[in-house]
Every structure is written in structure tokens, then in C-alpha cells.
């Protein structure tokens, strides 16, 4: 009898439920930059903390309101994430925007990552599903309706530290980033200045018209730039990595002519030099010159006929 009981107990143990496996490790992300995938061609970093110090909370709030109004003017009001994004800017210290540009440089597929001190999202944002918990205080919410290509399809929340807004085409790439598979060619802007960027010059070449200047820009490897407002203008430091010293020198010669045509008498103040296979530029662009350059890219009222390309 005792033997039967023992055998029965062993059989119950053998046929019992299998132990539950440990859940996968939560994504380990420490900064907003780590959520930008490697397949995006332009990555912009904005130091909102320094802008807040310069503009104050009221000025930054007005800028956020203007951002929301701009989004509405271009159909962004249909994107349910627009209000969450505008509110997040008020609590962010650093912003990263990685995107794939259109032929006119406008963002298409994109990832917008904000780092700061955010109020916890307790309820799902309007138009988004209930939260999916990834562990470690990391959650995401999916849009209930299919968004436009440049709209927000998923929102990630990393506790009170990070918020990330992802378009549909970039969801898989961000998931790979969270799994530690960042890819070998991820662009990383420098951690300095009010605004910095890193870009693949292929997209810059699209704006250079035809000819040798376009060829040189498209053959370049990476562009990095740092911008900071000072003394009534914009200080720009840029570095363009090319495929050799000869290409760098040829582009420097062409670039000097562009600076003379674009800046006129102010061109001698620009420092353009070659350092091995790198072209280095440092210049202070006045507000008036900046308005002219924006007009060249269709972003202002200046005539494009004065543009050197």
C-alpha cells in the first residue's frame, strides 16, 4: 500500500506542470540616442535644457504651442500623438530626431526620442491601445488606427526618463535596438552645442543640383555639424569625411566659391580647411544670411535665384 502511494506520488510529480521560464530581460536603454536605429540617414540632437535656460519656461511653452499649431497646419492634428509630443517637449532636456528624408529634406520615416523628467503615463494616450509591459518599467502603446507614413504608430515609455515616438516603418528597427542589435553604421551627433546633427551626405548631394559638387557630396562618408546661437547669429562647425585627401581638397576649392557667392563680403570670416580626408568648416552666419540660406531650401521668403547651386 505504501509502495503504491509512493509510485502514485512520483507519477503526479512527473506529470505535473512544467516550471514557468523566467521572463526575458527588460530592455536596457540609458539614453535617448540609444533608441535611434542605424537605418535612418539623418539624426538631429537638440539641447532643450540650454534653450529652456535662455528662453525660460514661458518661452519654451510658447515654442511648444507653436510646434503644435504647425503640426495642425500640415495635417498633424489627425495624429493623436501630437498633443502628447508637444507636452513632452516641456519636460524634456534633450531631444533626438532620426529620420529618412524626402528629396526636399522633409522627414518621412522617423523616430523621435526625448530624454528628461516626465510624468508617468498612467492611462493610454487618446487613440492608443492599452500598455504592453516589457518589464523594468518599460511599456509601449500602439495606435488604434493606421497612421500616415510620418505619423506615430507606437509610443514607448521608459519610466519617467524617456519617451520615444516611432513611425510604422521603424517599429521593427527600434525593436532590434532594444534587443541590443544596433547595427554597425548608426549615426551619432556630437554631444555639444544647442543643435548637432550627423547625416549621410548622399541626402545632402540631392540639394546640390548637378555636376561635380553633387558627385563629391554623394561620395562623402558622413557629415557632422554643431550649431549654437551666439552674438546675433548662428555659429556652425561642420566636419565632412570624404574618401581621400584629394576629394577633400577638391571639395574645399568648390566650397570656397560657394561661400563667396552665398556670403559675399562676409565670406573671408569663414574658416574652411582640409585636414587629411576631412573638410572642416567654422563660420558665424548672421540672422540675415541665415534667412537667405533658408530661402534656398524653400524654408523662407528669400528668392532661390541667389543660391549658388
Asked if residue 44 has pLDDT above 50, the reply is: yes
Q: What is the mean pLDDT of residues 177-187?
A: 78
What beta strand segments (E) does the chain contain? 42-47, 92-101, 107-116, 132-135, 138-142, 154-158, 162-166, 195-199, 222-230, 233-241, 271-275, 278-286
179 versus 156: which is more confidently predicted?
156
Provide CATH 3.30.1360 ranges for the chain. Answer: 200-306
81 versus 24: which is more confidently predicted?
81
In this structure, whether the domain defined by 200-306 belongs to CATH 3.30.1360 is answered with yes
206 versus 73: which is more confidently predicted?
206
Residue 185: pLDDT band by 50, 70, 90 thresholds? confident
Phi then psi dihedrals of residue 157, to 5 deg: -125, 125
Bridge partners of residue 278, in order along the sequence: 241, 275
Residue 157 to residue 128: CA distance in whole angstroms: 13
Residue 171 to residue 112: CA distance in whole angstroms: 12
DSSP character at residue 32? G
43 versus 214: which is more confidently predicted?
43
The pTM for the full model equals 0.77
46 versus 72: which is more confidently predicted?
46
pLDDT reported for residue 169: 95
Amino acid at each position: 500500500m505504501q509502495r503504491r502511494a509512493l509510485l502514485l506520488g512520483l507519477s503526479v510529480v512527473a506529470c505535473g506542470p512544467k516550471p514557468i521560464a523566467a521572463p526575458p530581460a527588460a530592455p536596457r536603454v540609458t539614453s535617448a540616442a540609444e533608441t535611434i536605429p542605424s537605418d535612418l540617414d539623418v539624426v538631429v540632437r537638440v539641447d532643450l535644457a540650454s534653450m529652456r535656460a535662455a528662453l525660460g519656461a514661458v518661452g519654451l511653452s510658447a515654442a511648444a504651442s507653436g510646434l503644435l499649431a504647425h503640426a495642425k497646419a500640415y495635417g498633424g492634428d489627425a495624429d493623436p500623438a501630437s498633443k502628447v509630443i508637444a507636452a513632452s517637449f516641456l519636460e524634456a532636456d534633450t531631444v533626438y530626431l532620426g529620420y529618412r528624408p524626402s528629396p526636399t529634406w522633409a522627414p518621412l520615416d522617423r523616430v523621435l526620442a526625448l530624454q528628461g523628467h516626465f510624468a508617468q503615463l498612467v492611462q493610454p494616450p487618446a487613440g492608443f491601445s492599452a500598455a504592453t509591459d516589457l518589464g523594468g518599467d518599460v511599456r509601449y502603446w500602439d495606435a488604434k488606427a493606421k497612421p500616415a507614413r510620418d505619423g506615430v504608430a507606437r509610443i514607448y515609455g521608459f519610466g519617467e526618463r524617456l519617451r520615444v515616438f516611432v513611425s510604422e516603418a521603424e517599429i521593427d528597427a527600434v525593436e532590434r535596438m532594444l534587443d541590443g542589435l544596433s547595427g554597425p553604421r548608426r549615426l551619432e551627433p556630437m554631444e555639444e552645442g544647442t543643435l548637432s546633427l550627423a547625416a549621410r551626405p548622399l541626402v545632402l548631394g540631392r540639394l546640390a543640383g548637378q555636376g561635380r559638387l553633387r558627385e563629391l557630396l554623394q561620395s562623402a562618408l558622413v557629415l557632422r555639424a554643431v550649431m549654437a546661437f551666439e552674438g546675433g547669429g548662428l555659429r556652425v562647425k561642420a566636419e565632412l569625411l570624404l574618401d581621400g585627401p584629394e576629394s577633400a581638397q577638391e571639395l574645399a576649392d568648390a566650397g570656397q566659391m560657394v561661400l563667396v557667392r552665398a556670403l559675399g563680403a562676409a565670406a573671408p570670416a569663414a574658416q574652411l580647411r582640409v585636414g587629411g580626408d576631412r573638410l572642416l568648416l567654422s563660420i558665424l552666419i548672421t540672422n540675415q544670411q541665415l534667412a537667405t540660406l533658408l530661402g534656398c531650401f524653400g524654408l523662407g521668403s528669400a528668392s532661390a535665384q541667389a543660391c549658388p547651386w
